Amino acid sequence: MTKGSNSTNGYKVIGTRPIRHDGYDKVTGKALYGADFSISGLLFGKILRSPHAHAKILSIDTSAVENMDGVKAIVTSQDLPQTNWTKEKDAIMAKTKVLYKGHPIAGVAAINHHIAEEALKLINVEYEILPAILTAPEGLDPSSPLIDETKKNNISNHVKHELGNIKKGFEKSDVIVERTFDTATVHQGYIEPHNATVDWNSSVQDEKVNIWVSTQSSFDIRGRTAEILHLDPSKIKTTPMEIGGGFGAKFDPYACPVAALLSKKTGKPVKIVHTRKEEFESTGPTPGSNIKIKIGATKEGKILAAEATLAYEDGAFPGGVVSAGALCAFATYDIENVLINGYDVLVNKPSTSAYRAPGATNSNVGTETVIDEIAEKLEMDPIEFRLINASKEGVRRADGPKHPSIGVIEVLNAMKKHPHYNEPLPEATDINRGVAIGFWMNGAGPSSINLSVHPDGRINLIEGSTDIGGSRASIAMMVAEVLGIKAEDVTPSVVDTDKIGYTSGTGGSSVTYKAGVAGHIAATNLKKSLIERAASIWGVSPKTVSMENGILFSTKDKSLSISLKNLAKDLNDTGGPIISNGATNPSGAAPSISGHIIDVKVDKETGKIDIVKCTIFQDVGKAIHPDYVEGQMQGGTVQGIGWALNEEYFYNNDSYEMANPTFLDYRMPLALDLPMINTEIIEVPNPAHPFGVRGVGEASITSPPAAIANAIYRITGIRVNQLPIKPSLLMESIKK
């Protein structure tokens, strides 16, 4: 059993593993998630969706529903504000054209969801079906239909990054490998479907739209719903409910504006909860892609040139993730000559969303399998080859910035000397080992934290970051560290948008970084105020008062000392309550590097692929709560394994309908499919964070597909060129 790092480096709270504050509610079924919310007078909404991947809407006839028993309201795009029509509005309910199967067209509110569902069947929409495209290469074909007819082609975004001169770099190279990969569209697969309950109080004096929702960003939901409905943001209050997973896909407002319009029409609160089919067909996914990678190196093992051409599905609307995929493509290596072209390509699929290191896994599977192939051709150890070319602080990334502190070398060295890398493989020829590394630059953003003092000396912590995997605990721990108290003596809450300053979303591995900085500021301010209060009670200078381990004391006079608990009891009588806050938009997020060693077994009779043993290494900067850091590493790893082996949006030939929109057929990894996921936490501190934190949630997903593909090559001699690596495809290649 690998427990990973548990170093506290002189810290008292950071690096320990306290029980999370919200744990009790979550193991007893008491925690309230979005779908659990209820309110007096609640109605239930359902959304009518397009059955076609691409079609003109000729007419929408709702007359059969209008007087149906139990139906209370129907809305279409006509109910959205008509001026300044935007793509965002069109994504909420289509006006003239549907762009994917599942595109919303109308909403119905009824006294229960069964009636709302029945009502949908009676809405009559006439379509003129248009030819559709599903993949990025199809979208790039000049003969393909245009998704946005106001544009010349289906490319919604082109990024180009260039360093040096790749032509010269390839000319000087002794070995060049060029490969093309196709990766399937995949879904984030969180277990809790999207949901929203909206109550529109439209009284003239006190108009307020209350939204209770599972979201990664309550402030994004407020802002984007405000834009779509032409409301001032202060007229919307978003309450983030407990969230049942997101992985990047729970930022979009989806049903919120529809539920809002239904609530406005009925004067009652309306709840909409997606079905799993709606989740697959109308939310998420992360793009399928076509990846071309070409890398050249000298016979001594120095990479001289690297070229990537990335074409990512964008879905029906702009906003894809190729930019991040391009940024990450070669970021772990110090390469003089680089050319990266990335294209987001509109296709007739739901608008793509972020998914854990969005875009990076796609490009990584290309880069890290080509790297493996070059190392093999040079007869070099694959980790040694990577070490020769490893990026370090100060190296310029192809997209411009120089790397801040970065732990590529530390991760590679940890992998190289690890028993898993050095232990002999089983004698069976159907098992072998692959390695790969991955990169995510990590995010930051504005964050607000409020602290106050309970009368018993515990500290109340208010924050705006949705807690998706233990961040309440990690933020409380950082505050506790500053104050010298226990983690359990901080009581954290995530509150609505009226109760805390702006806080950007829980995504891009930003929360522990940015909320840590804000929490550090707030806790430092609180400590200062507590010291000043003790000093004023004692009539001494605050400069002579210190606070450690929850005790305030004079550094000059040993008789002067008071516990935080006793000071807190009398705050009201000694000058009034003490509060503090930290509000900041910190720069200085630093990248996290992942590395995987994966032993794979291939059944040569059937092509079935099993993961036999897996170790993830990750530079996390500083692990605040190592259990939840390991959890991020393990969870991302298993999502990467699912992406590599099983998961895809499957379309039958000539059909534009996803054939597998259930968890039975969209097969995510089960407990039975997996071994234990061993973790090795590497801590190269980020100097721009008070405790050295880097984000930890993303990098872990990026490198498993390449590590698995590299292991499969060592077993079968086949260089995999697509994801998922299906047994059927493997068998075709084995037979050849």
Partner 1 sequence: MSKKIHVKTTINSEEVEFLCEPRQSLLECLRDIVGLTGSKEGCNDGNCGACTVNLDGRIVDSCLVFGVEVDGKEVNTIEGVAYKDELHPIQKAFLENAALQCGICTPGFIVASKALLERNPNPTEKDVRFWLAGNLCRCTGYDKIVRAVLDAAEKMRVN
Q: Is 553 in the site for partner 1 (CB under 8 A)?
A: no
67 counts as binding partner 1 under rule CB under 8 A: no
Q: Does 40 participate in binding partner 1 (rule CB under 8 A)?
A: no
What is the total residue count of the chain?
Answer: 736
d(CA 105, CA 90): 9
Beta carbon of residue 460, minimum distance to partner 1 (angstroms, whole number): 22
Residue 618: CB minimum distance to partner 1, A: 13
If DSSP states are collapsed to H, E and C, what string results for 251-295?
A: CCCCHHHHHHHHHHHHCCCEEEECCHHHHHHHCCCECCEEEEEEE
- The residue from 6, 9, 32, 86 that contacts partner 1 (CB under 8 A) is 32
Pattern of binders to partner 1 over 625-664, x per CB under 8 A?
A: x-xx-xxx-xxxxxx----------------------xxx
H/E/C letters for each residue in 227-246? HHHCCCHHHEEEEECECCCC
CA 72 to chain centroid, in Å, comes to 37
Candidates 366, 291, 345, 286; CA nearest to 141 is 345
User: Segment near partner 1 (CB under 8 A), from 20-28, 220-228, 439-447, 487-495?
Assistant: 20-28
Quick one: 30 or 736, whose CB is closer to partner 1?
30
- Out of 204, 539, 672, 717, name the contact with partner 1 by CB under 8 A: 672
Beta bridge partners of 448: 583
Which is nearer to partner 1, 77 or 639 (by Cβ)? 639
- Minimum CB distance to partner 1 smaller for 121 or for 417: 121
Half-sphere exposure of 376 (CA within 13 A, CB side): 15
> Residue 48 in contact with residue 104, Cβ under 8 Å?
yes
Cα–Cα distance between 439 and 390 in angstroms, integer? 12
Handedness of CA 670, 509, 383, 321 (dihedral sign): positive
22 binds partner 1 (CB under 8 A): yes
| Residue list 607-626, contact with partner 1 (CB under 8 A) | 625
Q: Which residue from 96, 202, 670, 687 is in contact with partner 1, where contact means CB under 8 A?
A: 670
Secondary structure class of 176 (helix, strand, coil): strand
Q: Should residue 20 be labelled a site residue for partner 1 when binding is judged by CB under 8 A?
A: yes
Window of 131-139, 532-540, 581-589, 670-678 that interacts with partner 1 by CB under 8 A: 670-678
- Least separation in angstroms between residue 23's CB and partner 1 is 4
Could you give the CA distance from residue 420 to residue 614 in angstroms, rounded to a whole number?
Answer: 9
Nearest-approach distance from CB 467 to partner 1, in angstroms: 9
Contacts of residue 625, Cβ cutoff 8 Å, sequence gap at least 6: 16, 17, 18, 20, 470, 473, 474, 477
Nearest to partner 1 of 165, 493 (CB atom)? 493
Q: Rule CB under 8 A: is residue 19 a binding residue for partner 1?
A: yes
- Shortest separation between residue 115's beta carbon and partner 1, angstroms: 7
Q: Which two tokens stand for residue 26?
A: 């979550």
The single residue among 7, 8, 31, 579 that binds partner 1, judged by CB under 8 A, is 31
Q: Is 676 in the site for partner 1 (CB under 8 A)?
A: yes
C-alpha to C-alpha distances, 664 to 140, 186, 647, 667, 669, nearest whole angstrom: 33, 15, 11, 6, 11
Give residues 183-242 in contact with partner 1 (rule: CB under 8 A): 188-193, 242
Tokens of 268: 């009652």
**Residues contacting residue 650 through CB under 8 Å, at least 6 positions apart:** 184, 658, 659, 660, 665, 666
Q: Which of 100, 200, 212, 247 binds partner 1 (CB under 8 A)?
A: 247
Residues 272-301 close enough to bind partner 1 by CB under 8 A: 273, 275-276
Nearer to partner 1, 394 or 675 (CB): 675
Give the total of residues touching partner 1 (CB under 8 A): 62
Backbone angles phi, psi at 396, to 5 degrees: -80, 130
The Cα 567–Cα 590 span in angstroms is 39
Binding site for partner 1 (CB under 8 A): 1, 17, 19-20, 22-24, 26-33, 35-36, 69-70, 114-115, 188-193, 242-247, 273, 275-276, 468-470, 625, 627-628, 630-632, 634-639, 662-664, 668-672, 674, 676-677
